[in-house]
């Protein structure tokens, strides 16, 4: 029965081959089960055997063939599974890794200051006028200058040259025209007018560290009965202490604006002022203009200056931001460099 022994040996050899790591299954199949494979060779050499012997050898041959085929199939499945596992392991996503945080924007530093100013005046019962209908950036000469007591030949116009669309239509140089627009609409039977108007203004200036052809102002106006300079001073002190801190003081110096009489320039103390501070030691910085609204302006807006009085002020958020944060170049606010703007990111993201 040597042929049966041969077949059993072939079976063992095939198994040994298949057990080898990284075995090429197709090669094994061809070598053992192929037309010229080892099993076929054995079966070919049984032509001299008796019928019974042939039957016996044939049977073993079939068993061995099936066994090898089964092993081949198993191996094939195992190899596919191993390949899949290797692929999965290589592509593993670590769900515990922190993700990439999307970067959220934050309010521009100038907007933050304007929000702070708005919040303060809302608390004092003012209305905020900042819509393009009642506070347009494209203004008429009439509202921007004439109604502010600056007739066409007025020398103070020189300081506020601007961009003209037509000789009568221009980009506003100040938020003061919002005063007239608000006064015209105001119904005094409902009480005094208390308003602020934050917004953009334009000047025909060459941009440098302290000038920008476009910057911001917050206009303020209060019109009512018995409004006095004391009301103005108290109001300005409250907003300056809101912006710079409670221990800061203000100083009013006489000045000139065509639309106020008297007019003042307002300084805020650079340092905190306590009971022990000597007045001569206080360092003052100029921050805004203000005054009691000129009777002519009230008249032009249809308000009787005998019955009503008013104060007005103009705040400069750009200047406040520069002072508050030690920014030396106003152009920084408009360059949109995120590295600069991120310094004022209150959200901390």
Indicate the burial class of 102 (C-beta count within 10 angstroms; 0-12, 13-18, 19 or more): exposed
Cβ proximity to ligand DAH: between 313 and 320 the closer is 313
Give the shortest CB-225-to-ligand DAH separation in angstroms. Answer: 19
On whether the CB atoms of residues 59 and 43 are closer than 8 A, the answer is no
CA-nearest of 119, 174, 111, 121 to 321 is 111
Cβ proximity to ligand DAH: between 60 and 290 the closer is 290
On whether the CB atoms of residues 239 and 120 are closer than 8 A, the answer is yes
CA-nearest of 186, 180, 214 to 318 is 214
Encode 160-212 in three state secondary structure. Answer: HCCCEEECCEEECCCCCHHHHHHHHHCCHHHCCEEEEEEEEEECCCCCCCCCC
List residues near ligand DAH by CB under 6 A: 174, 176, 219, 257, 260, 289-291, 312-314
Cβ proximity to ligand DAH: between 54 and 157 the closer is 157
Q: How many CA atoms lie within 13 A of 334 on its CB side?
A: 15
Give the shortest CB-100-to-ligand DAH separation in angstroms. Answer: 46
Cβ proximity to ligand DAH: between 57 and 222 the closer is 222
Cβ proximity to ligand DAH: between 3 and 310 the closer is 310
261 is in an annotated binding site: yes
Give the shortest CB-336-to-ligand DAH separation in angstroms. Answer: 25
| Phi, psi for 111 (deg, rounded to 5) | -65, -35
Give the shortest CB-220-to-ligand DAH separation in angstroms. Answer: 7
Count other Cβ atoms within 10 Å, centred on residue 88: 9
On whether the CB atoms of residues 173 and 203 are closer than 8 A, the answer is yes
Give the shortest CB-219-to-ligand DAH separation in angstroms. Answer: 5
Give the shortest CB-254-to-ligand DAH separation in angstroms. Answer: 13
Nearest residue to ligand DAH, by Cβ distance, number only = 314
CA-nearest of 29, 25, 234, 210 to 120 is 234
Cβ proximity to ligand DAH: between 174 and 269 the closer is 174
Give the shortest CB-171-to-ligand DAH separation in angstroms. Answer: 13
| Phi, psi for 286 (deg, rounded to 5) | -75, 130
Cβ proximity to ligand DAH: between 71 and 180 the closer is 180
Handedness of CA 291, 295, 126, 156 (dihedral sign): negative
- Tell me the binding residues: 261
Could you tell me which residues are annotated as the binding site for Mg(2+)?
261
């Amino acid at each position: 029965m040597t042929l049966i022994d041969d077949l059993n040996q072939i079976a063992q050899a095939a198994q040994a081959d298949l057990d080898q790591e990284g075995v090429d299954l197709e090669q094994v199949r061809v070598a053992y089960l192929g037309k010229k494979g080892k099993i076929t060779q054995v079966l070919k050499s049984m032509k001299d055997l008796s019928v019974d012997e042939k039957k016996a050898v044939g049977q073993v041959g079939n068993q061995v063939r099936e066994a090898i085929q089964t092993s081949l199939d198993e191996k094939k499945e195992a190899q596919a599974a191993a390949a899949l596992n290797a692929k999965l392991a290589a592509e593993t996503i670590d769900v515990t890794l922190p993700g990439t945080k999307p970067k959220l924007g934050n309010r521009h530093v100038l907007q933050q200051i304007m929000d702070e100013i708005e919040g303060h005046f809302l608390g004092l019962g003012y209305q905020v006028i900042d819509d393009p209908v009642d506070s347009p950036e494209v203004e008429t000469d009439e509202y921007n200058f004439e109604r502010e007591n600056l007739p066409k030949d007025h020398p103070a116009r020189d300081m506020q040259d601007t961009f003209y669309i037509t000789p009568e239509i221009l980009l506003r140089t100040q938020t003061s025209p919002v005063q007239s627009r608000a006064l015209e609409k105001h119904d005094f039977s409902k009480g005094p007018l208390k308003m602020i108007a934050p917004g953009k203004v334009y000047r025909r200036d060459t941009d440098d560290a302290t000038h920008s052809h476009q910057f911001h102002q917050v206009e303020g106006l209060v019109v009512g009965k018995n409004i006095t300079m004391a009301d103005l001073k108290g109001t300005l002190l409250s907003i300056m202490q809101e912006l710079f801190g409670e221990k800061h003081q203000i100083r009013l110096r006489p000045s000139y604006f065509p639309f106020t009489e008297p007019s003042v320039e307002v300084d805020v103390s650079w340092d905190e002022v306590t009971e022990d501070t000597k007045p001569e030691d206080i360092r003052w910085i100029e921050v805004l203009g203000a005054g009691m609204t000129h009777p002519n302006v009230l008249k032009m807006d249809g308000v009787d200056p005998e019955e009503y009085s008013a104060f007005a002020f103009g705040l400069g958020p750009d200047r406040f931001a520069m002072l508050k944060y030690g920014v030396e170049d106003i152009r920084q606010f408009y360059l949109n460099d995120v590295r600069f703007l991120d310094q004022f990111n209150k959200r901390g993201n």
